[in-house]
C-alpha cells in the first residue's frame, strides 16, 4: 500500500510542480524533490486507518516571502481519498482577496478531489455544478525512486511532545545517503496516526498538520460525485464555462 501511495503522491507532486513552475515565485523545480517528498509523506498513510480531519499544508516560497498555507478537509479509507479546498481560506500573497473574488464569481473557489484506486483523479467544483476526470502524470522514474527510498527509510525516536493537544511520539525519518530530512509526530491516542510531518529537502521546508481528527469510516458519499453535477471534457472546457457564467453575472448586474 505504501508503495502504491508513493506512486500517487509522486504524480500529484509533479502535477503541483508543473502548476507552481508557471508562477513567478522563484521556487526551485519540485521535480527533483518529488521522490523524497513522496517517500516521507508515505509515513502519513496506512491501509488500516480510516478517518476524517482538517489538514494545513504549508508550501515553501522564495526567500523572504511568506509560505503558502493551504487548509484542506480530508477523508481517507481503504485507499480512497478526498481532499477539499476553499480558496477563500488560503493564506498566500500569491492569492490576494481581489483574485479570490474573481474566482468566486466563476464558481471555482471551492473544489474537492476524489481518488479511488485504479481510477482517474476526479476534480469537482460544487459552485459550477461540474466535475472532470484528470489523468495523472506517469512519473515512472520518480515512482521507482520513491519506492526505493521507502524501502530504506530509517526512523529514530526523538522524544514525546504535545501537538495541538495530542500526545505524540516524535521521530526523525531519514534515507541513508539522501540529504533530505523529515520529522514525524505520531499521535498515541489516534492509533499512532502521523498528525504532523515536517520535511526539508534542498533547503525547502514542507509541513503537513492535522486537526479535528475523527477515526472511523467516513460517509460513503464523501467518495462519490454529488448528484446533479455535469461532467466536463477537460479543464479548459470547465474554465470556459466558468468564464461565461461570470460574464453572464456581470451582464445581469448591468441591466
pLDDT of residue 63: 66
47 vs 165, higher pLDDT: 165
Contact 186, 192 (CB under 8 A): yes
pLDDT in tens, 87-97: 888 877 767 77
For the cut 50, the answer to whether the pLDDT of residue 2 exceeds it is: no
Dump strand ranges (E) for the chain. 51-59, 68-77, 80-86, 110-115, 121-125, 130-134, 154-163, 166-174, 181-187, 193-201, 204-215, 230-231
Rounded percentage of the chain residues whose pLDDT exceeds 90? 29
CATH 2.50.20 fits 2-217, yes or no: yes
Distance between CA 194 and CA 246 in Å, rounded? 41
pLDDT reported for residue 45: 67
Q: Rounded mean pLDDT of the chain?
A: 78
For 134, how many CA atoms within 13 A lie in the half-sphere containing its CB?
A: 20
**pLDDT tens track for 167-221:** 999 999 888 888 888 899 999 999 999 999 998 877 888 888 999 999 999 999 9
Nearest 10 degrees: Cα torsion 18, 128, 57, 177: -30
Say if CB 31 and CB 156 are below 8 A apart: no
Q: What is the pLDDT of residue 40?
A: 73
- pLDDT tens digit sequence for 146-178: 777 777 878 899 999 999 899 999 999 888 888
The count of other CB atoms within 10 Å of the CB of residue 242 is 20
Give mean pLDDT, residues 107-119: 86
Is the pTM for the entire model greater than 0.85?
no
Q: What are the contacts of 211-215 at 24+ separation with CB within 8 A? A: 211/53, 211/54, 211/55, 211/56, 211/164, 212/53, 212/54, 213/51, 213/52, 213/53, 213/166, 213/187, 214/51, 214/52, 214/53, 215/49, 215/50, 215/51, 215/190, 215/191
- 3-class secondary-structure state, position 134: strand
Amino acid at each position: 500500500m505504501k508503495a502504491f501511495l508513493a506512486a500517487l503522491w509522486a504524480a500529484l507532486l509533479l502535477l503541483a510542480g508543473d502548476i507552481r513552475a508557471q508562477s513567478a515565485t522563484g521556487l526551485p523545480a519540485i521535480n527533483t524533490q518529488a521522490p523524497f517528498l513522496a517517500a516521507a509523506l508515505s509515513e502519513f498513510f496506512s491501509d488500516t486507518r480510516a478517518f476524517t480531519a482538517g489538514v494545513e499544508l504549508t508550501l515553501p516560497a522564495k526567500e523572504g516571502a511568506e509560505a503558502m498555507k493551504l487548509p484542506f478537509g480530508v477523508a481517507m479509507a481503504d485507499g480512497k481519498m478526498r481532499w477539499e479546498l476553499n480558496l477563500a481560506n488560503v493564506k498566500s500573497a500569491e492569492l490576494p482577496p481581489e483574485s479570490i473574488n474573481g474566482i468566486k464569481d466563476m464558481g471555482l473557489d471551492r473544489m474537492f478531489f476524489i481518488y479511488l484506486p485504479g481510477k482517474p483523479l476526479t476534480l469537482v467544483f460544487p459552485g459550477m455544478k461540474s466535475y472532470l476526470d484528470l489523468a495523472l502524470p506517469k512519473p515512472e522514474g520518480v515512482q521507482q525512486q520513491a519506492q526505493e527510498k521507502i524501502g530504506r527509510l530509517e526512523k529514530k525516536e526523538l522524544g514525546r511532545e504535545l501537538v495541538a493537544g495530542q500526545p505524540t511520539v516524535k521521530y526523525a525519518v531519514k534515507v541513508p545517503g539522501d540529504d533530505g530530512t523529515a520529522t514525524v509526530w505520531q499521535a498515541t491516542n489516534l492509533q499512532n496516526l502521523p498528525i504532523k510531518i515536517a520535511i526539508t529537502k534542498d533547503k525547502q521546508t514542507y509541513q503537513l498538520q492535522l486537526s479535528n481528527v475523527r477515526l472511523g469510516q467516513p460517509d460513503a458519499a464523501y467518495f462519490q460525485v454529488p448528484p446533479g453535477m455535469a461532467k466536463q471534457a477537460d479543464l479548459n472546457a470547465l474554465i470556459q464555462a466558468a468564464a461565461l457564467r461570470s460574464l453572464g453575472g456581470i451582464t445581469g448586474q448591468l441591466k
